[in-house]
Structure 1
Amino acid sequence: MRAVVQRVSQASVTVDGAVTGSIGPGLLILICAMAGDTETQAEAMAAKIAKLRIFKDEAGKMNRSILDIAGSALIVSQFTLAADLRGNRPGFSTAAAPADGKRLYDHFTTRIKALGIPAANGIFGANMAVSLTNDGPVTLCIDL
C-alpha cells in the first residue's frame, strides 16, 4: 500500500456539492492499494500511521501520535498514487483493480477505527474535492 499522510488542523472532502467527511486536528490520509496488496498490508499501514510521532509535545518536538492527541483521520482513496511517470502520460497499471482497491480501502478504514482513531471518509471512485489546512506543513509518503 502507498499513502500520503498530512498533519492537518482541519480537512474535509466534498462529492457533488455535499460534504462526505470532515475532521478537526489529525491526519488527512490519501491511500492507494497496489496490485497484489492484501489485508495484511492494509493492517500494517494502519498500525504504522497510528504510531507515527508527528504531533508536537509540550516542548514543541514531534513526539506524539494521533492517538496521543486524540485526533481524527480523514481517509481518501487515491489510486493516482500508483502512477508510473516514466512518460508524459501517467499509467496506473500498478494500482489494485477497483474491486480489490475498494475492499482494501474499506479494510484500512476499519483497522484505523479499530485502533481507536475516529475516521471520516471520501467516497471510493468518486470525483472528490479535498480541502485541508496543512499543519506545519508536515507531509509524509509511506510505502509498505
Structure 2
Amino acid sequence: MTQPRPPLPPFSLETAKAKVQAAEDAWNSKDPVAVSMAYSEDSQWRNRDAFFSGREAIQQFLSQKWQKEQDYKLKKELWSFTENRIAVTFQYEWHDEDQQWYRSYGNELWEFNDDGLMSRRIASINDVPIQAFERQLTP
C-alpha cells in the first residue's frame, strides 16, 4: 500500500504552490532515495533525451545526475495547474568536474495520481555555460 503524499489533487493555487516548493526542497537535498519517494512506483519520465520509468530508475538517474552536476542549486516556479497536473518553470546552477559553471533552464509537466504521487514527469532542459561570478543561486 502506498502512503499518500499531500497535498493531493485536485489542486488549488495554494496546494499547487506547496507541491512545487516541496519538489524544490527535495531536489535541493540531492538525496535520490528521498526524491524518488514523491513519484509513483511506476512513474514515467522523460528528462531531456532519456526515457525511463520506476523508482529504481529514478534513483539511478538522480545519483548519476548529481555526481556530474556538482554544487547543484535549483529554483522552481509554478507556471500553471489543473486538477491533477502542474506545470513548472525552473533554473538551476551547477559545475562540472572541470569547474565550468552552467545555468540550466527548463520546463516540467507533472501528472499526479490520487495519492499525490507524481505518475508522469516530462522535462525539457537547456544548459548555458556561465562564469562563476555570474551565478545567481547560491548553495
TM-score (norm 2): 0.23
Task: Identify which of structures 1 and 2 has the higher relative contact order when contacts are C-alpha pairs closer than 8 Å and 6+ apart.
Answer: 1
Instruction: Kindly indicate which of the two structures has a greater share of residues assigned to strand.
Output: 2
TM-score (norm 1): 0.23
Instruction: Kindly indicate which of the two structures has a greater share of residues assigned to helix.
Output: 2
